[in-house]
Amino acid sequence: ALSGSLWHSPEPLWELTLCDNRVTEKGVEELLRCLFNHPNHPPRLPAQGQTSGGGGRGFALRLDLRNNCIEDVDAMLSRVASQGGSKVQLVRTSTDGPPPQPAADASTPLPFLWVFLPRVAEQRREE
């Protein structure tokens, strides 16, 4: 359901917080596949002199997946990266940051899937 809503949204997604839920590996992979194919991902900052819209430097979407039901984070992210190859950039940190820097300029080619995953290894234990 979430992937379908995102797919039909013309607006780029800058940040998505899904922490403290019951999201599974399958759900995360579906969401990342949607973002990989979405025409407005990765998001872009407004171009210089504009207050809204894209056209500026691209940056990584912040996706907070802490405290969910992802059993094997490493295997899941490896599968996603292997399917997208060089067109995927998944940035993991064990803390809340720092996030990756935006692209150097608006003309810099961006990966199809560029996601910042802070504290993604922090998953709940099954009860």
Number of domains in the chain: 1
Task: Count the neighbouring beta carbons within 10 Å of the beta carbon of residue 102.
Answer: 18
> Domain for residue 126, yes or no?
no
Q: For position 1, what pLDDT does the model report?
A: 82
Note whether residue 125 is domain-resident: no
Q: Cβ neighbours of residue 9 under 8 Å, at least 6 residues apart? A: none
Give the model's pLDDT for residue 47: 83
At residue 91, φ and ψ (nearest 5 deg) are -110, 115
Structure tokens at 14: 């800058």
CB atoms within 10 A of CB 93: 15
Show the domain range for 81. 2-43+56-100+109-118
pTM: predicted TM-score of the whole model, two decimal places: 0.91
List, for residues 12-69, the tens digit of each pLDDT value. 899 999 999 999 999 999 999 999 999 999 999 888 776 666 688 999 999 999 999 9
pLDDT above 90 covers a percentage of the chain that reads 81
Segment (H or E) for 88: strand 88-93
Instruction: Identify whether 8 is part of a domain.
Output: yes
